[in-house]
Amino acid sequence: MRLLVGLGNPGSKYQGNRHNIGFMVLDEIARRHGFSPWRRRFQGETADGTIGGDRVTLLKPLTYMNESGRAVQDAASFFKIGLPDIIVVHDEIELPASKMRVKVGGGIAGHNGLRSVSAHVGNDYRRVRVGVGHPGVKELVHSHVLNDFAKAERPWVEAMLDAIADNADLLIGGRDSQFQNKVHLALQAKGFGAKDDKPGA
């Protein structure tokens, strides 16, 4: 089984924030793949289903971003699953908007949600890094991620959610490079991302 975690902050105030792209991805996967209704447990909300024949539990921690690891630890302990079966979807300011990369482990680049998850369960889980762009100067990062996606960004956000949900079986099945490539091509087909930008870049 897999535990697929989306990072974000709870409540309508944060719903459309760039920092909440993880929640948005999970909502779309749950909708597209006919998951069970969301219910409260593990200091978060979960939904259960299958993708590509694998059992998957979706988890949205409701602890606020900085304490996300508590919910992930609770769920991982309950299901007795290790780091290879934990996937965390999060916003990534080090990637341009409309880009997505998958990696295992690595640094946390100042992301408080990742910092908390790594502190609670270890560092070598898979991350789906959804680019939200960098505001240019460090001082503006906080307000950038805690502001809603601009109206002009909505088309690529919707295309990203569609592409990830469409190809979730590749992600769940551990075929990360195929997953990354399919998402990249789907966004490119809709006019997002330069033609010469290779998924492995």
Number of domains in the chain: 1
- The pTM of the full predicted model, rounded to 2 decimals, is 0.94
Q: Is the pLDDT of residue 138 over 90?
A: no
CATH number reported for the structural domain that contains residue 52 in this entry: 3.40.50.1470
pLDDT at 42: 97
SS3 state of residue 139? helix
List all residues 6 or more positions away from 31 whose beta carbon is below 8 Å from its beta carbon.
165
Q: Is the pLDDT of residue 73 over 50?
A: yes
Q: What is the residue range of 177's domain? A: 2-189
Q: What are the distances in angstroms from CA 196 to CA 92, 171, 193?
A: 21, 24, 9
Decide if 68 is inside a domain.
yes
C-alpha to C-alpha distance for 196 and 101, rounded to whole angstroms: 16
125 carries a ligand binding annotation: no
14 carries a ligand binding annotation: yes
147 carries a ligand binding annotation: no
- The answer to whether 19 is a known catalytic residue is yes
Decide if 198 is inside a domain.
no
Q: What angle do CA 48, 157, 114 make, to 5 degrees?
A: 60
Rounded to an integer, the average pLDDT of 131-142 is: 90
Q: Is the pLDDT of residue 201 over 80?
A: no
Q: Alpha carbon 52 to chain centroid distance?
A: 19
Decide if 179 is inside a domain.
yes
For residues 106 and 198, the model is more confident at 106
Decide if 199 is inside a domain.
no
C-alpha to C-alpha distance for 65 and 67, rounded to whole angstroms: 6
Decide if 195 is inside a domain.
no
* Host H or E run for residue 177: helix 176-189
Decide if 33 is inside a domain.
yes
The rounded mean pLDDT for the chain is 93
Decide if 181 is inside a domain.
yes
Residue 58: closest CA among 95, 5, 11: 5
64 carries a ligand binding annotation: yes
Decide if 194 is inside a domain.
no
HSE-CB of 45 using CA atoms within 13 angstroms: 19
